[in-house]
A and B are shown apart, each in its own frame.
Chain A
Amino acid sequence: MKLREYEAKRVIKEYGIPVPAGFLIRSADEITGHIAELGDKFVLKAQIDVGGRGKAGGILMADPATAVAMAKELFNKQIKGLPVKEVLAEQRLEITHEYYLSITIDRSSKQPLILFTEAGGVDIEHTAKENPQAIRTVIANPLMRDIPPFLLRELLGTAPKEIGVIVNKLYRVFVEKDALLAEINPLVTTPQGVFAADAKIIVDDNALGRQGFTVNRDLSERERDAEKYGFSYVELDGAIGVIGNGAGLTMSTLDLIGFYGGKAANFLDVGGGAESERVMHAVRLVASVPSVKVIVVNLLGGITKCDEVAKGIISAGISQKVIVRLAGTNEAEGRAMLLAKGYEMLDTMDLVVKKAVEVTA
């Protein structure tokens, strides 16, 4: 789950990384109480859960005279279709240089990867393409508490030494906050010292509980509902609902829909050993999406009992057509139950998907 900028900055500040003086406001009038502390130049940043907010008009410059008007303007905006409910008002820094610093997970070495470039402030992916030698990386050992000085020298080159201290502080954030990504872009030098002008933290969804989060904000309401039943659910925009067991098989079913020229409405993985009640909830959940015209159920496995699945599909009692492919324990019983109720059963995933595409064409 991605933290909002003000949350990420609050976290790194706790770990001793300097951030610009700033205040979170929830209405334009609230800014008047903070003008004295913000100085004569400041910036208003919409706190929304989408990227590319600067280009979409979510960041405005202000001063004491224009503060309230600018804040009003921002609160009245929709940024990429989202209303602005929170604004971070922040002191504007006198920047002498911008750097980029991030810590992420390197799948290949299975260890944290620290990335630094003196060409910061811009799109890092752009730099990686245009000027890859400007990016320096080192791999950290997850069994060590700190980044040793020799690695810091490799990483930072001739950049100011105080940045080394920041790297180690950000590494503590990365480890202790269960981050998949901890990024400061830009990390800036000013006459007053080094500051994190922007910060981004993505927390591992598997660690949200121990990090004290009860809700995953990255999920839509229906996705959260699905999570309660233990489903993995992603909403897409087609007409064919999909229920599978296992992430790979479900993804593959979606791909096959595309292969035959159809469009999937969702990804729903019911998980292993699904009982009738969970299958029923899965079918109802997918059927509740207005765009769904037909539902493909593709279940395969040793633990999943086909008669339980059949019971679940039948008891869901939905109006849309359900096309089923079932293989596994008690296959014959499940098949007989569904056929008796008039459900369409086909033998392979190619066949069920082809049929569903025909129905929606």
Chain B
Amino acid sequence: MKRLFNNNLSKILIIFTILYLLKYVLPQSFMLEVIILSIYTMGCSFLIGRVGFVSFGQPAYLAIGAYGTAFYLYYFGTNPFVAILVGILLGLIINIITGAFFIRLNSSYYTLCNQAFCVVNFFIFQKALVKYTHGDNGLWFLSRIDPTPVIDLSRTEGVFIFAFLVAVGVWLLFNYLMNHSVFGATCLCVKCNEEKLRFLGYNVFNIKWLAFIIANTITSLAGALYSLYFGFVSAGITAPSKAIEPVAISMLGGAGTLFGPLVGSFIFIGLKDIASQVISYWELLVGLMLIIVMLAGEKGIVGSLEGFLSKLINKHGNNEGLQATNIEGEVGSE
């Protein structure tokens, strides 16, 4: 049991099995939304918790991926796999360019610049490119998606399985990045003490740039999945008022933890579904939740739980695996 808990790979396996089984209990659309939202939040959570960049402009990167997919499916082809690839590639290219600009700024300027970027993106998709994006009316292409072999992406079940597999892949990637690679360690060092990292001879710019590109390309991937799932993209996807959502979810789940985004998205969407029947102004609850989470301590649910659980499990027997949890605890309290 102890070894099982302390091993991140088995944790991923267990949690995703539970997630898959939950499909039979909860509505599929709910689970699909949770999965895509958690992929979306993962990039943001990584940037906040592991690199120290808070971005209020994540919808911009989401929209780039979504529109890449949408443009391909609406104007050029019908193959959904190619469409997702186009979305990711477009996201990658734009992230490489914008990253080079934004990374040079320090954290507070980075946040404000990102929000401005998000608003500008909104105007571009809503007004400047209205000929191609149809503004707020959006692009509808659900009927243009071709049935594909093995995983049929033209049906919702296919999208669910595909998104599920992508999520497993993303989590394995971030597990490697966060816990098993030098790159992840240097990212954490950027957050804690950038000067020391520079002193050690690392190129801080490249590390930040790579972290930015990885995190935001994952965000674009989530955008591509969104547009495939809905078969529809409008300018509303990059609305600046939604910019706080990924930050709020990251903080709720625990920024920089591996499973924070999943838990956060699950609770967030659940709350949203329940609350929308009672109260029609969703901002009120998100704001309140954000204030409570931030004032209660920035560890979030997973951050607090992890420390508690590892203490509980490691109480009996020797201190095997204590080191790994110690590192996580430090990250949470950073």
Q: Do A and B bind each other?
A: no
| Residues of B bordering A, CB below 8 Å | none
Q: A residues near B, CB below 8 A?
A: none
